[in-house]
Structures are given as structure tokens and as C-alpha cells.
Amino acid sequence: MSDVSFNPFDPEFRKNPHPFYDRLRTEEPVHRTPLGFVVLTRYEDVVNTLRNNDFSRDIEVNANLPESPTRKFRRENERSKSMLNLDPPDHTRLRRLVSKSFTPSAIEKLRPRIQQLVDDALANAKRTGHLELVEELAFPVPFQVISDLLAMPTERGEELREWSQIITATLEPTTGVEELEKGQEAIAKMRPYLEEIIQHRRRNMGDDMLSSLIAVEEQGEKLNNDELMSFVILLYIAGHETTVNLIGNSVHALLTHPEQLDVMRRESCTPNMVDELLRFNGPVQHTIRTPLVDISIPVNGQEMLIKKGSLVLASLGAGNHDPSVFDNPHQLDFSRSNSNRHLAFAAGVHYCLGASLAKLETEVAVGTLVKTFKSIEFDSQPEWRDRLTIRGVSKFELNVK
């Protein structure tokens, strides 16, 4: 029995989870934590779990967890589950209704608009030689893009951002009732705001994504009002909370690997480079599932049983640094031939719907930053958010020339 453990409260783990992931992967790849859940760190186990329909994403219904104030609160306050928390066939139906708007070709059409937003975002830094990456580039660009897509006004951007941050805090494995209550309060404030916008759009349909989602609903397909609302909230949060961290993490990775920054300067930012940045430090560190039947996973010739209803945390971050798939995994390396096998967007039926959009935004934002400034240097060490599920920087001051 190994003495390594997955302890989300350990500050060392929060600072850098990779030494822990590495030990877990070699010493105890199917790890039972003192908190009672199972952590998977090998690439193959993570992929197999995400692709296996014997694993459910609907934890509230299918996990066999002890009753707790947190669970009770979640159950009583959930109005309509977002697609992220549903299993087929309910998930399949919702995903089919919304996926047309997210195909790579539909997303590619956004490139000129994204480029314009990035150029505008960098204009001030060109004058001053200083850039606060999160506030000036990583947040405003994805936020404006998702607002454009949904044809949402942006005047109340600050409030929306605050609500989103409170809501995503409830995704943490350490969430307690207090955070959940705050999350519900934030959703309660967000709903009437979005409701008003949806009502307005119903009367003034355009060619935006919100209008097509409403149209789907009105063609008799069953995207009811609660489902529409949950999806819009999910998109909004994804638009706020993920790409912003990918842009921040990517710039950090480049500045700490100057030889790779030089490669990007020479060759300009490519989709393959974005894949490698996602593999190296993707913002979403893990996701959860629960098996609908007993499952066994072989470890060193022994079958490790995961009982039906257990809570399983599949570590995307650990899978992305598994040396059996990625040579020298802790090295950022743009010449890697298999970066696109990364798990940063998960896998299987819940594979990130916004993957093409997130990749395009990052390619344009990071690529343009690197092209615009011959020199990019830390002004101070970035501040990392104290979060486990979505890792990223909250403040990142740069000197640019």
C-alpha cells in the first residue's frame, strides 16, 4: 500500500499537482482517497471511463453517496439539469439540438471578429508597454465572443462575471453548503436577467445562436424553457471560466519555456501548438463519473474493483502527463506528434462542445500577442486561483515591447 494520497486540501497539491499525479499513477493508479472517492490517473483508465456508457455523469441520481447537507441542498435546488449532468438518451437529445452551432466550420467564421477583438484588446498595451493579461485580453475576448454568439448585451458584464465565478466555485470537490447557497443566490440573480433577454429575443429573432435555440424549442422539439435557460447558463459560464484560463496558462507555459516561445515566434501559433498547450496545462483538471455496474480495472495483474455507485474522479491533468502516451510529459514541446490526443476537453459523449471555439480563441489571442510584441516578460509572478477543478491565473502582469 502506497502512502501517496489525493488530498485536495494540501497546499502543495494545489500549487503543483503533477508530483502527486505521477506518484499516484505509478504507485496506486486506482486510488481510494480518505474522503471515499476513487481517483484515476492513468491515461487509458481515464479515457476508458469517459467513453464507457456504464459510467454515468448524473452523480446526484446514480452515485451511492452518504446523505449530506451538500447533497440535500443540490437535490432540492436543482430545477433543470444542464446537458453536462445528463446521461444518454436525455443528453443525446439536448446535444443534438445545440451541436450544429458549434461545428468547426461554423466556428471558423468567427475568426475575423475574434482577431478584431484581440487587436483592440492589445491596443492599450502597445501604447503603455504593460499588459494585465487576464483583465485586458484573456477575459474580455472570450466573454465578448460568447456574448456575441448569444446576442447578449454586455453592459452588466462585471455582475455576470461575478455570478459565473460564484457558480463555478460549486464545481470544486471541496464544495460545502455555504458555497452552494451562494451559487444558488447567483443563479437566482442570473435567471431573471437572462429570462428578460430571452423574452426580448423571442420577439426579435435574429441569426444568432440564442435565436436558433429558441427556434428549435418552437419547432416542437422539446427544449423547454428550463432546458434553454440551463444551456444558456452553461454556455455563459464556459465562455467566462475556461478559455480565460487556457489563455493565461498558455502564456505562463510559454514564458517558462522560452525556447518554445521562440518556436511559436518563428512558425506562428498553430492549432497543434494549442493542443500541446492544452495538454501541458489545460484548465479543467478532472471530471467525475459514477459506475452503473461494478467495474474492475487491472493493476499489476490484479483486478481493482470499483463498486457501482462509487464516486470516480477521472484526472484529465494526470492523463495528459502520462509518460506511457506522451514522452517526456512535463516538457512543453511543440514538435510532439501526438499532442492532439490530450484529454483537456475530456472524451466520449460529453467531449467539450466548445472545443473548436476555445481553440480558435486561444490560437488568435496567444498567436497575436506573440506576434505583436518582440519581448514579453513577467512584471511580477502571476497569482494562481485557489481552485482545483479549473486551474488558472487570476492576475498576470506583463511587460511587453
Of residues 287 and 310, the one with the C-beta less far from ligand HEM: 287
Of residues 88 and 258, the one with the C-beta less far from ligand HEM: 88
Of residues 123 and 243, the one with the C-beta less far from ligand HEM: 243
Of residues 4 and 106, the one with the C-beta less far from ligand HEM: 106
* Cα dihedral 324→7→313→90 (10° resolution): -150
Of residues 320 and 368, the one with the C-beta less far from ligand HEM: 320
**Cβ proximity of 113 and 380 under 8 Å:** no
Starting at the edge strand found earlier in the chain, the sheet holding 397-400 runs 130-132, 397-400, 376-378
**What's the closest the beta carbon of residue 165 comes to ligand HEM, in angstroms?**
16
**Site residues, ligand HEM (CB under 6 A):** 57, 83-84, 95, 146, 234-235, 238-239, 242-243, 246, 282-284, 287, 344-346, 350, 352-354, 357-358
**What's the closest the beta carbon of residue 235 comes to ligand HEM, in angstroms?**
5
Residues near 306 by beta carbon (within 8 Å), at least 6 away in sequence: 30, 38, 291, 294, 295, 296, 297, 312
Where do runs of H (alpha helix) occur along 204-323?
Answer: 209-218, 225-241, 243-255, 258-267, 271-281, 316-319
**What's the closest the beta carbon of residue 213 comes to ligand HEM, in angstroms?**
12
**What's the closest the beta carbon of residue 122 comes to ligand HEM, in angstroms?**
20
Q: At what angle do helices 225-241 and 140-149 cross, to 10 degrees?
A: 160
Nearest of 272, 300, 282 to residue 2 by alpha carbon: 300
**What's the closest the beta carbon of residue 237 comes to ligand HEM, in angstroms?**
9
Of residues 85 and 184, the one with the C-beta less far from ligand HEM: 85
Total residues belonging to the chain: 401
**What's the closest the beta carbon of residue 313 comes to ligand HEM, in angstroms?**
11
Of residues 297 and 312, the one with the C-beta less far from ligand HEM: 312
**What's the closest the beta carbon of residue 56 comes to ligand HEM, in angstroms?**
11
Residue nearest to ligand HEM (CB): 354
What would the DSSP string read from start to end of 308-340? Answer: TT--EEEEHHHHTT-TTTSSSTTS--TT-S-GG
